[in-house]
């Protein structure tokens, strides 16, 4: 009886992916709505909500200076702090926009995360 139960559990846990269904493609960084501020920099609004950061992938030109404006829309301690790309911790008060300056790297990406490292986002260099 125990062997039969172990076999069933093993079969369920080792279920193979259906070859008829393609694997989902990784999300690409896309151009997101933004505005140019009086400072001449591109400002990108980022919602910090129950599902994490929206958008969570922000494309920019290598070396471009951006201002990410985070607005927390969900009352949870995890998302109440942001670990900025430079490593500093930034408080995100509920419903109040907070600007964070970011420079797009020459290549690759820089990341940001919630204070508990559960939600993540990236700024990606795209020529």
Give the DSSP per-residue string, 22-53.
PPPPPPPPB---EEE-TTS-EEEEEEEETTEE
What pTM was estimated for this model as a whole? 0.73
Inform me whether the pLDDT recorded for 70 exceeds 60.
yes
Q: What is the CATH number of the domain that holds 112?
A: 2.60.40.420
Mean pLDDT of 19-30: 47
Q: What is the C-alpha to C-alpha distance for residues 38 and 41, in angstroms, rounded to an integer?
A: 8
The pLDDT of 7-29, averaged and rounded, is 43
More confident residue, 18 or 56: 56
Residues 30-39, mean pLDDT to the nearest whole number: 68
- The answer to whether residue 71 is domain-embedded is yes
Tell me what pLDDT residue 76 has.
93
Residue 117 lies in a domain: yes
| Structural domains counted in the chain | 1
- Please check whether residue 74 lies inside any domain of the structure: yes
Q: Is the pLDDT assigned to residue 88 strictly greater than 70?
A: yes
Residue 59 resides in a domain: yes
Q: Does residue 7 fall inside a structural domain?
A: no
**Span 120-127, average pLDDT:** 95
Q: Which domain holds residue 91?
A: 36-125
């Amino acid at each position: 009886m125990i062997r039969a139960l172990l076999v069933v559990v093993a079969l369920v846990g080792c279920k193979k992916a259906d070859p008829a269904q393609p694997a989902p493609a990784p999300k690409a960084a896309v151009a997101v709505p933004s505005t140019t501020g009086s400072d001449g920099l591109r400002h990108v609004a980022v919602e910090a909500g129950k599902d994490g950061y929206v958008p969570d992938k922000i494309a920019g030109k290598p070396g471009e200076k951006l201002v990410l404006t985070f607005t927390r829309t969900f009352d949870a301690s995890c998302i109440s702090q942001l670990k900025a790309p430079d490593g500093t911790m930034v408080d995100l008060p509920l419903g109040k926009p907070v600007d964070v300056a970011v420079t797009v790297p020459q290549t690759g990406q820089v990341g940001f995360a919630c204070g508990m490292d559960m939600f993540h986002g990236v700024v990606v260099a795209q020529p």
